[in-house]
Amino acid sequence: MKRNFKNKLAGVSVAAAVAVSSLGFAGYTNLTEAKDKKKQPTNVIMMVMDGTSVGATSLARWYKGENLAMDEIVIGGVRTHSAESAITDSAPAGTALATGNKSNDKIVGLLPKVVNTPGVDPINPEDALKPVANVLEGAKLQGKATGIISTSEIQHATPAGFSSHAAHRSNYQDIAEQQVYQGIDVVLGGGKESLVPGTTKNARVDGENLLNVLNQNGYDFVETRDQLLNSKSNKIWGSFAPTALAYDFDRKQASNSEPSLAEMTNKAINTLSKDKEGFFLFVEGSKVDWAAHANDTIGMISDVLAFDDAVKEALEFAKKDGNTMVIAVSDHGNSGITMGNQNTNGNYSEIPVSTYIDPLKKASMTVEGALKQLKADRSNMKEVAELYGLDNLTAEEIEALKASKTLQADMVKMLANRANIGFTTGGHTGEDVFLYAYGPSKPYGLIDNTDIAKTMAKFMGFDLKKTTDKLFVNARESFENKGYTTRIDVTDKNNPVFIAEKQNIKIEIPVNKNVAHVTQNKKTSTKTLDGVTVYNGKDFYVSENALNLSN
């Protein structure tokens, strides 16, 4: 196995070097610094590998046989707890990374209702579930180009945290609509079903076909790798699957039409960097988390390496540009994966790397990908098991798999045992995660996940609290203070509308959109707002400029 683990800290500030050394990273790191060209615009590329414990990145490095691109920029650690728990869900984790505010389980882009974690500041009960601005919204107000990328549905919790506001992460209807009306320049990932009406789980129930909206707003809507790479547009919406994209190993094996995460990242950077005001780009490698939940070692390795390839693309741009901040981090741990399990208690110090890695190298697909090849009668069980690296099974083992009612769990356990891999859980974990960062004004040391949002906002030249004040005022209170009578029309429960009336003026503001309809002297016009309108089930929140629509 090739080994290329570099052992020097090149060009690192004393403070950063101390921070890295104190976290035990020094033996793996070759940090190079961007030369700040003291120019505008500033760019930020924020990258999240969802649900990735440090054990997963260590294993992926051994599997690859050489340094990861991330190893060059590891510079600290991140605390991941939520407002109510030491172990966070992706929704409050994404909210913290995007807005600088802790929140509760399943909540996206809103303040929490419950705060009981030591060290987290309490909130005024009146502010519970109030929307708070994210860094993408702040960047957009600065005139920057914006983009989000995900290998899951683009409406999934973490990309949702950087682009929307919802009381529950499963509200794909609201999240998808807000993402479309945010006017994000480049959106790439899965989740096409949430853009159109239909009968599938997350298809739209409000009657709106968001593909028509995208077309009206000038997007090049693409659905394959070739269409994406050939697009010349400055506004691209890529939906490459009805739900999530394939794991990277499975994508390669099946030769499907989906782009890799690195290809999506490269295309987004090349497109967004044309903007003279700079850009903000969010990138998520989503399915490491899903593999970790399933204890699928191969799925975790597959998509850690795919994410690392995307980091390489971001770093190549940042090094040339000189004024781009790149941050890569996991939002939380998952599965407690370890090299070593109960079978290695007594002789762990004598076990060579090959004992862990060689069994894993036999797999060509993840367990998800392999099981998609399984026939209904399981007559090809032997061949499917071999796709997952389970070769040389006895006839009894094959028959046991054919009869299994927990086939996926049995297969991942068999491979993990062969490779001496351990797992503590099928859920999230609460340990600190690595912080990877590059470029001017980058964060370093052991920090809180909320610090990342604040660091990005400061680098891009705005304050998140002031942005929140501009984008999210309580509609009822604000309009009533101006002499309007107000109500929330829920005649159509899927399309609530805030209505404010005074004398000959009627203002109608639909949920999840960036528009308001103003009727004055019997003439109706549609006005564009600075941001999307959010309804948290109790109150409507609208952009500050909505208060002056009748002028």
Catalytic site residue 90?
Answer: yes
11-31, pLDDT tens digit by residue? 344 344 433 333 333 343 344
Decide if pLDDT at 136 tops 60.
Answer: yes
Confidence of residue 357 (pLDDT cuts 50, 70, 90): very high
| pTM, two decimal places | 0.93
Measured between alpha carbons, how far is 33 from 314 in angstroms, rounded to an integer? 14
Decide if pLDDT at 9 tops 90.
Answer: no
**pLDDT score recorded for residue 33:** 52
235-291, pLDDT tens digit by residue? 999 999 999 999 999 999 987 899 999 999 999 999 999 999 999 999 999 999 999
Measured between alpha carbons, how far is 128 from 44 in angstroms, rounded to an integer? 30
Residue 40 C-alpha from the chain's centroid? 27
Out of 53, 82, 90, 163, pick the active-site residue.
90
Q: What is the mean pLDDT of residues 83-104?
A: 98
456-514, pLDDT tens digit by residue? 999 999 999 999 999 999 999 999 999 999 999 999 999 999 999 999 999 999 999 99
**Residue 237: is it exposed, middle or buried by C-beta count within 10 angstroms (0-12/13-18/19+)?**
buried
- Average pLDDT for the chain: 93
Measured between alpha carbons, how far is 95 from 368 in angstroms, rounded to an integer? 29
As given in the structure block, the two tokens for residue 520 are 């004055």
112-124, pLDDT tens digit by residue? 999 999 999 999 9
**pLDDT score recorded for residue 39:** 62
The length of the chain is 551
Contact 516, 529 (CB under 8 A): yes
**pLDDT score recorded for residue 551:** 60
**pLDDT score recorded for residue 343:** 85
